[in-house]
Amino acid sequence: MILYIHGFRSTDLAPKARELKQYFGEKIALAAFAQEPDQAIKDLEQQIESGNVKGIIGSSLGGFYAIYLAEKYHLRAVLINPSTRPYETTLRYLGDNTRDDGEHFIWSRDDMEALQKYAIVDPSHGHYMLMLKKGDTVLDYRVAEKYLSAEKRVIETGGNHAFENIADHLESMEKFLIK
């Protein structure tokens, strides 16, 4: 089973999640987790421990969680425009927020501080496929590029944070995760 972890203010209803589900079918589980970081990690750990998860796909904040979980459970992970320091990059979202399904939530300094516990200083080599868009205006792709030594890298000019042409890479993602 592959576990997909969506990003901040997103849900498993977002276009990328639907596209992954359409391609992978029963081979993928769309993670369900709380917004609050400590509870999110508990929810994701429970899904890994009870779901025979063999690999993770994480996008944005989901990529940050994927790194922590891949290290803890010795899993391979595909990281799509991952946040490597969400405790810094989510500062602009302090206060009231709305997810793509319309649900409101409050993002606090406590949430940002909680994220710091899950930061991996030196990720393992060879466990990651890194997918970055140079046109991402939410996160600077160079930060993730420098931080992660990935077995496979896809770095494309242009594009955006959503990595809108994910369909072009689904087969290579599957091969990497099921290696």
The amino acid at residue 50 is: S
3-state helix, strand, coil in the chain (%, to 5): 40, 20, 35
The percent of residues above 90 in pLDDT, for the chain, comes to 63
Residue 136: per-residue pLDDT:
82
Predicted confidence (pLDDT) per residue in 98-108, tens digit:
988 889 999 99
Helices (H) then strands (E): counts for the chain: 7, 8
CATH assignment at residue 133: 3.40.50.1820
* pTM score, whole prediction: 0.93
Q: What average pLDDT does the chain have? A: 91
Confidence band for 20, pLDDT divided at 50, 70 and 90: very high
Predicted confidence (pLDDT) per residue in 107-138, tens digit:
999 999 999 999 999 898 788 999 998 988 88
Residue 11: per-residue pLDDT:
85
Half-sphere exposure at residue 40, Cβ-oriented, CA atoms within 13 angstroms: 24
Residue predicted with more confidence, 166 or 65: 65
User: How many independent structural domains does the chain possess?
Assistant: 1
Residue 111: per-residue pLDDT:
95
| Residues 83 and 8: beta-carbon distance below 8 Å | yes
Residue 15: per-residue pLDDT:
87
Say if residue 145's pLDDT is above 90: no
Residue numbers of the domain that contains 52:
2-177
Residue 139: per-residue pLDDT:
86
Confidence band for 41, pLDDT divided at 50, 70 and 90: very high
Residue 125: per-residue pLDDT:
79
